[in-house]
Amino acid sequence: MNFAARASTFAEADRVGIADERAVCDPRGVLYFPELRLLAVSDLHLEKGSSLARRGALIPPYDTGATLLRLQAVIADYQPAIVISLGDSFHDGGGAERMHSSFRERLEGLIAGRDWFWVAGNHDPDAPADLPGETVRELAVGSLVFRHEPSAVRVEGEVAGHLHPCARIVQRGRSVRRRCFAGDGGRMIMPAFGAYTGSLNVLDRAYAGLFRRETLMAYMLGTERIFAISHAMLRPG
C-alpha cells in the first residue's frame, strides 16, 4: 500500500484524540500526528537479544534487524519531520555500543534529515553511544508532553510508553490477546514496538489510576487495522 492510500485510510478510520491533538493509531504500533508531522514510537528495546545472550540465553540475534526494518517501513510511509523514540530504545546501556555496524548504519539513515529525539527510559537513562539525535528527559510539543513512564497524577495530553499495554477480549468462547494503544482521551500509553518485547494487560494493577475508566479504550492492533474496544469488553489476564 502506498503512502497516499494509507494516509487516506487512516484519516477516516483510526484517528483518536489526545487532549487537543488528533493522531493516527497505526496498526503497526506507532502514533502519527499529521498536523505536526510527528511520529512517536515506544520501547524499541534494541539489542535485547544480545543482552540476554550475555547471560547464556542464546536467542536469535535478529531482533534489532527486525525492529529496524519495521521502523524503516513506517518512516518511509509517513515521512515524518520529527521522530520521538519514547524511551527504552535500547534494552540496556551498552546496547548502542554492541549494535552491529550494518544496523547502526541503517538507524543513522533513518535519523538523517529529521529531528530525532531519544527520550530517556529506565533501561537506557543515558544518551545512546555515538548516535545522532537529541536525548531528553521529556518533550513538550503543542498541547502534548512525551515521557517514558506515565506520571502517577493525571496529566492531560501525556503520551507515554513503558508499560507495554495489551488487551484481551473473549468472543464466542475464544480468547484474543493483542498489543494495544490505551487511551482515555486525555492520556495515551503506547504499545511496545520491539520484536522481543512482551506485554502487560491494561487491566493489570500497574495501570491503576492512570485512566478515566468510563472513557478508556484499548486500540488493539490487527494485521491491517486497529480495533477500538471499550473498557467494558476487556478481560484481565
Partner 1 sequence: MTEQPRLAEQNAAVHLPEPFLKWFAEKGWSPRAHQVELLATVQAGQSVLLIAPTGAGKTLAGFLPSLTELAGRPRRKPGQARRGIHTLYISPLKALAVDIERNLGKPVEEIGLPVTIETRTGDTPAHKRQRQKLVPPDILLTTPEQLALLIAASDARRFFEDLRYVVLDELHSLVTSKRGHLLALGLARLRSFVPGLQTIGLSATVAEPDELRRWLVGQNPPEISTKPAMASLITVAGGAKPDISILDSEQHVPWSGHLARYAIPEIYEAIKRHRTTLLFVNTRSQAELLFQELWRANEDSLPIALHHGSLDVGQRRRVEKAMGENALRAIVATSTLDLGIDWGDVDLVVHVGAPKGASRLAQRIGRANHRMDEPSKAILIPANRFEVLECRAALDANYLGAQDTPPLIDGALDVLSQHVLGSACAAPFDADLLFQEVRSAAPYARLERSTFDRVVDFVATGGYALKSYERYARIRKTNDGMWRVSHPRIAQQYRLNVGTIVEMPELNVRYVRQGRGLAGRGGPVLGKIEEYFAETLRIGDSFLFAGKVLRFEGIRENECVVSNGAGANIIVPSYAGGKFPLSTYLADQVRGMLADSNRWRALPEQVADWLRLQKEKSVLPKRGDLLVETFPRGNRHYMVAYPFEGRLAHQTLGMLLTRRLERAGARPLGFVATDYSLAVWALDDMASLFKAGKPSLAALFDEDMLGDDLEAWLNDSWMLKRTFRTCAVIAGLIEKRFPGQEKSGRQVTVSADLIYDVLRSHEPDHILLQATRTDAAAGLLDVSRLAEMLSRVRGRIVHKHLEQISPLAVPIMLEIGKESVNGGANETLLMEAADLVEEAMGPGMSLV
**Binding positions for partner 1, rule: CB under 8 A:** 15-17, 50, 53-54, 56-63, 65-66, 100, 168-176, 178, 183-185, 195-199, 215, 217, 220, 222-224, 227-230, 233, 235-237
222 in helix, strand or coil?
coil
**54 or 137, CB closer to partner 1?**
54
CB of 134 to partner 1, least distance (A): 29
CB of 95 to partner 1, least distance (A): 13
All cell numbers assigned to 50:
544480545
**50 or 89, CB closer to partner 1?**
50
CB of 104 to partner 1, least distance (A): 13
Residues forming a β-bridge with 34: none
**8 or 230, CB closer to partner 1?**
230
Q: How many CB atoms lie within 10 A of CB 140?
A: 11
CA atoms within 13 A on the CB side of 130: 9
Residues listed for the chain: 237
Cα(197)–Cα(192) distance, integer angstroms: 6
CB of 98 to partner 1, least distance (A): 9
Helices 101-111, 63-78: axis angle to 10 degrees equals 20
**78 or 196, CB closer to partner 1?**
196
